[in-house]
Amino acid sequence: MKTHSRSQSHGKAAHSDHPAIRDVWADNLAEAMIEIEAIVKDYPVIAMDTEFPGIIHTTEGSGYNQFKRNVNELKVIQIGMCFSNKV
């Protein structure tokens, strides 16, 4: 399977045999979204992962309700995306 990666000489999306990792911040978010739009045409299966800075609620209960309460009150600090053309 081929993945998209940024061409080092031009900064544009290009097919590659190696996975690419991108640092996306506010200043390059628009460019990254355009690149994602191009990638999903060929790789429509997307897996996502999110990271949050920790746990602030550890009181009564556990499982889903505690997890949901923490997620709702914290800001996501990282989002990972993996694109594939196979299910």
Q: What is the pLDDT along the chain (87 residues), one digit of tens a residue?
A: 344 444 443 444 455 556 688 899 999 999 999 999 999 999 999 999 999 998 888 876 678 888 888 999 999 999 999 999 998
Say how far apart CA 49 and CA 47 lie, in whole Å. Answer: 7
pLDDT at 9: 35
**Are the C-beta atoms of 10 and 55 separated by less than 8 Å?**
no
pLDDT at 61: 67
3-state secondary structure of 20: coil
Closest among 75, 51, 71, 74 to 63, alpha carbons compared: 71
pLDDT at 17: 58
List the beta strands (DSSP E) in the chain: 3-6, 13-16, 45-51, 78-84
pLDDT at 10: 41
